[in-house]
Amino acid sequence: MRTLTRTAGAIATPVARWTRATCRTSTLTLLGWHRIGDAADGLTTSFDDFRGQLDVLTDWDAVVLPLDEAVELLAADRLPPRAVALTFDDGYASVLELAWPELQERGLPATLFAVSDFLHGDRLFPWDERHGTTELTRLATAAQVRDAADDGLDIGSHTRTHRWLPSLTAAEVAEELRSSRTALEDLLQRPIRTCAYPMGGYHRAIRDLTGEAGYAAAITCDRGRNRPHQDRLALRRSFAFDDPADVRRQLDGGYTWMRAIEDRRYRREPQW
């Protein structure tokens, strides 16, 4: 993280804490990760950093809730103070092999958003293809996801092929959403109620198609807390910064101002 960004976050944090303290309603903070390992690539969190981030949640007195329960309590304006839900995008094997056991040991629930066509062990995401199959790029198999779900990990959809939804036709978006949900439900033999928009790409029409596809909640990459009036199909989420001190500022709301900058990035199709 750039020094200027961290300094701005440190300055903004006291104001954000005061705002939270004076707010009459509780809010929901969604935190996200992609994979666990050793790389400085914007997608990877080291295992030591991950454990340090979970320690911050404990020190902050976070109430970590299952995502579906958190969404229901949010809509009813009955969230406990400092409510948090934890999420992982894409379905990397390292999440199931490293992060999930750590979460189980701590008794913390989480949701993994899986890409249904990438659960066969023979595919890589476009941004990983130049590296080949490594421990970092390896994706979880369908069997691993099923076993983790049986052990309590919540599974949501990350669409069928992880395409940039705003570039697709309405029919293609509907197919990405519906076929992924069907495939995951067939695999897990349980309802799939949530999804995360790949790379944060969505707009109002995509939001409507998501509801029509049967999802009760959908996650964006728009930073910030979720208040009771927040659209369930456009929930805000922040991806955890590596430094635990920065994660503490994220929880306090010290980096919410970054949403105005990030909005531009998450409205453009990524180039690999």
The string of pLDDT tens digits covering residues 80-107 is 999 999 999 999 999 999 999 999 999 9
**CATH superfamily for domain 3-265:** Glycoside hydrolase/deacetylase (3.20.20.370)
CB 9 within 8 A of CB 252: no
* 127 vs 129: CA distance, rounded Å: 6
State the pLDDT confidence band at 42, using cuts at 50, 70 and 90. Answer: confident
Average pLDDT over residues 157-179: 98
Q: Copy the structure tokens of residue 253.
A: 């709301």
Q: What is the pLDDT of residue 59?
A: 96
Grouping H, G, I as helix, E, B as strand and the rest as coil, residue 11 is: helix
Q: What is the pLDDT of residue 250?
A: 85
Question: How do strand 194-196 and strand 217-219 relate by DSSP bridges?
Answer: parallel
Amino acid (one-letter) located at 123: R
Q: Percent of the chain beyond pLDDT 90?
A: 74
In terms of average pLDDT, the best of 81-85, 248-252, 259-263 is: 81-85
Which range has the worst mean pLDDT, 16-20, 42-46, 265-269? 16-20
Which range has the worst mean pLDDT, 45-49, 70-74, 117-121? 117-121
Q: What is the pLDDT of residue 259?
A: 52
Q: What is the pLDDT of residue 8?
A: 47
Q: What is the pLDDT of residue 256?
A: 63
CB 263 within 8 A of CB 222: yes
State the pLDDT confidence band at 265, using cuts at 50, 70 and 90. Answer: low
Of the candidates 204, 206, 199, the one whose C-alpha atom is nearest the C-alpha of residue 221 is 199
Q: The tokens 């001190």 sit on which residue?
A: 245
- What are the contacts of 218-223 at 24+ separation with CB within 8 A? 218/194, 219/30, 219/32, 219/87, 219/113, 219/156, 219/194, 219/195, 220/196, 220/266, 221/32, 221/197, 221/262, 221/266, 222/259, 222/262, 222/263, 222/266, 223/255, 223/256, 223/258, 223/259, 223/262
Query: What are the residue boundaries of the structural domains of the chain, listed by start?
Result: 3-265
pTM of this prediction? 0.90
* 155 vs 60: CA distance, rounded Å: 26
* Residues with Cβ within 8 Å of residue 42, at least 6 apart in sequence: none
State the pLDDT confidence band at 221, using cuts at 50, 70 and 90. Answer: very high
